[in-house]
Amino acid sequence: MNNRHRSWSIARRLFGISLLLILLQSVISSVVTTQLRRHFFHEHLEETLSRQIVSSYNVISDRLDQLSVDQAYACCSIDDYRSWLEGLSFENGKAGLIIGAAGLQATRDADRFYGTTELSRYAKDAIASSSGFTVDEADEDVPLAVKAVKLPGGDQTGFYVYMRPVYSMPLVRTLMQIKLVSELVLMLALAVALLVGLRLIFRPVRRIQSDLAGIELNRLESAELSSRDRPREFQPLLQEFNGMVGRLRRSSADQKQFASTISHEFRTPMTVISGFIQSVLNRDEGLRVQSRDALMLANREVLRLNRMLSDLLDLSRADNNQLKVLREPFDCLTSFREAFHLAQAAFPGNTITVNEHEFETPVWAVGDPDRLVQCLKNLIGNSVKYSELNSAIELHFEVQGECVLFSVVDHGQGIPGDQQERIFERFQRAEGVTLRRGDSSSGLGLSIVKMLMEGMGGGVRVESEVGIGSRFILTLQRSLL
């Protein structure tokens, strides 16, 4: 199934095709060169031998020319052949011979280099060829070029055959080998050049890829890709992309505006509703139990809705750079205690312990006291939500060097390792982690905590183990005032 959707690379395909073409070109060039070399070398040799044979052939034909009529009629015996060749001798492996009806007679010293059978074979091969010329390559290093010319007269006079070793063949072969090696080196160099070239050609693609990877959804205003110094081929693509980003940005701005307006507009009626419910619950003692329970439930839901609206409003403000988060020295121990007391009041069923008594003097940190309380409340609320009913919650306050650490520890379900990063993203919840019946989560809480803590110059992280529990740690910069 995966093969059907296997992705492919233009660069690799281009490289492969180019490499194949280079290889093909090399093979064709090599074959053509070899054939041409063979053809022209043979042609050159034939031309050379045709010229070289003339002087010795002339001696023989002159002797034949001077034969008397009676000698011509009595022709020819092996002695005749011998007499025609008389005085002809060659060096360096060259040889001449006459082969005809009377047999084979070679020039003097020919037997030093060749046997009669060999000479006969060379001569017959040359005579049989249409041009009377052959190159015997039985000895690859020193092939033998052979030229045969029919002597005047019929079969009785036979052929004069001249042969010479081609001592330059090793040089030719070496040249061919050099050519082959240079072709291979060239091919390799071309492949490398192609690789480098492709990397250069595809550099703009990688730049665009990198730019695209750097785009954040909440920063669409800087998401447009510059078309400056980009290849002409990419301009239409970039224009389309930037157009799309523009449309997305407008859409996102509209959505944010909508969320901001809705959050803002809903809060007032919600506060009124909550106020009236509180008022009825506080003043009317004659309410039936069922009515009171119903009103209390309604009040809790209104409060929950109000919190969600507050979260949405915070996010909306943050997106519009309107969220105000202080970065000033404050007594964070006080805020920590406040959060603890609020939590005790909000979750009376849970045992919430704190180690704040270890610190007697104020501890100063840089940040926003209200936002720190908001963050701690959020974390404590999450701990309660994702733990067993009435489960114990521990709050820890700690000073580590230049940092102040606030930890919220629960003994709940824990968060899988691969989820621990994404739970701080908007509308994301850890998969496989369940809420108690009746509870709900918007998936905004932890992203707001992260946003606020970073706004204060601090941070948030989690240490968790599935089935054991989680520890959320808030960090602020310590103020040394």
Partner 1 sequence: MGWIGLWRWPLLFAPLLLLTSCTQETLPGASPVETQSIDLRITEPPWEPQAQMSRRMKHLTTYLKASTGLTVKYIPAINYDHSYSMMERGHADLVLVGVYGGYRLLKALPNARPLVVQKPSYRVVMLARRRWMEKLDSGEEPSLASVKGRRVGFGSRFSGSTFLQPMLALQEEGLDPSVMAHCTHEPVQRHLPIQVANGLLDFVFVPSFSDQQDHFVPESLRDELAVAWIGTPRRNDYVVALDRPDDSQRKEQLRLVQEAFLNLDRSSLDGRVVLNARGFPGYELPTPEFPQMTNQRLESLLAMYGGRPICEDS
Residue 54: CB minimum distance to partner 1, A: 5
Chain centroid to Cα 171, Å, comes to 47
Residue 43 vs 254, nearer CB to partner 1: 43
- 61-84 b/e (C-beta count within 10 Å ≥ 16 → b): beebeebeeeeeeebbeeebbeeb
Token pair in block for residue 470: 């989680």
Residue 125: CB minimum distance to partner 1, A: 9
Residue 144: CB minimum distance to partner 1, A: 18
Helix H or strand E encompassing 55: helix 10-65
Q: CA-CA distance, 378 to 449, in Å (whole number)?
A: 7
Pure H helices in 66-115: 69-74, 78-85
Residue 44 vs 199, nearer CB to partner 1: 44
Residue 82: CB minimum distance to partner 1, A: 17
Residues in Cβ contact with 248 at an 8 Å cutoff, skipping those fewer than 6 apart: 220, 223
Residue 49 vs 373, nearer CB to partner 1: 49
Residue 133 vs 424, nearer CB to partner 1: 133
Residue 234: CB minimum distance to partner 1, A: 60
Strand order across the beta sheet in which 103-106 lies: 103-106, 95-100, 159-165, 144-150, 133-136
Token pair in block for residue 86: 């008389």
Token pair in block for residue 37: 């070399």
Decide: helix, strand or coil at residue 348: coil
Residue 84: CB minimum distance to partner 1, A: 11
Residue 124: CB minimum distance to partner 1, A: 6
Helix H or strand E encompassing 212: helix 203-213
In the block, tokens 């040889």 appear at 95
Residue 38 vs 51, nearer CB to partner 1: 51
Residue 79: CB minimum distance to partner 1, A: 16
Residue 65 vs 140, nearer CB to partner 1: 65
Strand order across the beta sheet in which 393-400 lies: 352-354, 393-400, 403-409, 469-477, 459-465
Residue 70 vs 360, nearer CB to partner 1: 70
Residue 127: CB minimum distance to partner 1, A: 5
Residues in Cβ contact with 261 at an 8 Å cutoff, skipping those fewer than 6 apart: none
Contact residues: partner 1, CB under 8 A? 47, 50-51, 54-55, 57-58, 61-62, 64-69, 72-73, 75, 99-101, 124, 127-128, 132, 149-159
Beta bridge mates, 409: 394, 471
Residue 64 vs 110, nearer CB to partner 1: 64
Q: Sort 469 into a burial class: Cβ within 10 Å, 0-12 / 13-18 / 19+.
A: buried
Residue 90: CB minimum distance to partner 1, A: 16
Cα distance between the two ends of the chain = 64
Residue 150 vs 207, nearer CB to partner 1: 150
Residue 61 vs 419, nearer CB to partner 1: 61
Rounded to whole angstroms, what are the CA distances from 9 to 190, 238, 319?
20, 20, 38
